[in-house]
Amino acid sequence: MRLFRCACHSGLSYLRAPADAGGSSLPRSGGPVDASVLADLAAASRILADQGVVDAFGHVSMRHPNDPNRFLMSRSLAPALVTPDDIMEYDLDCECVDPRGRGSFLERFIHGEIFRARPDVMAVAHSHSPNVIPFGLVDKPMQAMFHNAAFIARGVPVFDINAKFGDTDMLVGNAEKGVALAQSLGDKDVVLMRAHGSVATGPSLPVAVFRAVYTEMNARLQFQASMLGGGGPIAALSPGEGKLADLVNLGSASRAWDLWKRRVGY
C-alpha cells in the first residue's frame, strides 16, 4: 500500500493511502505528531546516554499522543546518536508503520507489550545500566535508598527469562517474551531483567527517564549502603514514605528533565 507524506509536519506525518490502493499490510498511522514530540523523544534517548544509563545499547519509547495503540521509538541506533528524523511509529504488535528500509530494535517487544498491558504507562526506557544488573542476579531486593528513588519502594520484581523460555539469547525478541516481561512488571514502575538489565516506565516521558536515571543511581547507593552496613539491614524508605515522596517527584521531574535536556543540546 502506498504511503504519502504530509508536508506540513516534519517527522511522523505518514498517512496511509485508502484501502483500495491495495498491496501492503503495514499498520495505519495514528496520525501526524508535532515536531516537538519527536525532539523530546530524541532528547530522552540522548539524556539516558549522557546520564550513563545506556551506552551503545538500550532504547526509550513513548505512546503516540493521539493513538493509544501506537508508540514512537527510534530506528535501531546507538541512543546518543538519535535525532528526531530517526523516530518511527509502531503498532502494539511492534509492526512499523513506515519502515522505509530502516532497522528496528530487536527488543521493541518490551515496549509494545508493556504499552498493551499497562494503559497508564506513557513511556518506557530499557537499559543495561551496570549498577542495576547485580540486583537481578542475587536474592537481594532493590530498596528505595532516597526520596528521588521513591518509586522503588513499591517493589521491583525480577524477570527471569529462563523460567519460562529455558536457555535463550537473553533478549526479549518476540511478542511472547514481551508479554512475559510485562506480566513480571505487573503494576510496578520498574522491572529488573535477570542477567540483562531493567525497564523503567512512567506516566510521561520525563518521568520514565527520571525513573531510569534514579534506578541506576539507587542501585549504586544500595550497594554502598550494604557494604557500609556490613550487609545488615538498611533503613530504606517504607512503602508509605515511598508513596508520599513519589507524589512530589511526579510534580518535580520536569526540573530534572529541563536540566538534562539542556545538557544534551535540546
Task: Please identify every residue annotated as catalytic.
Answer: 107
CA 51 to chain centre: 15
Nearest 5°: phi and psi at 68? Answer: -65, -10
The DSSP bridge pattern shows strands 197-202 and 123-127 to be antiparallel
Q: Residues with Cβ < 8 Å from 31, sequence gap 6 or more? A: 15, 64, 66, 67
Cα separation, 172 vs 106, whole angstroms: 8
Q: Residues with Cβ < 8 Å from 73, sequence gap 6 or more? A: 41, 59, 60, 61, 62, 87, 88, 90, 104, 105, 108, 111
Task: Retrieve residue 44's grid coordinates.
Answer: 530522552
Q: How many residues does the chain have?
A: 266
Strand partners for 123: 62, 202
Sequence-ordered alpha helix ranges (H) in 51-197: 108-117, 161-165, 175-185
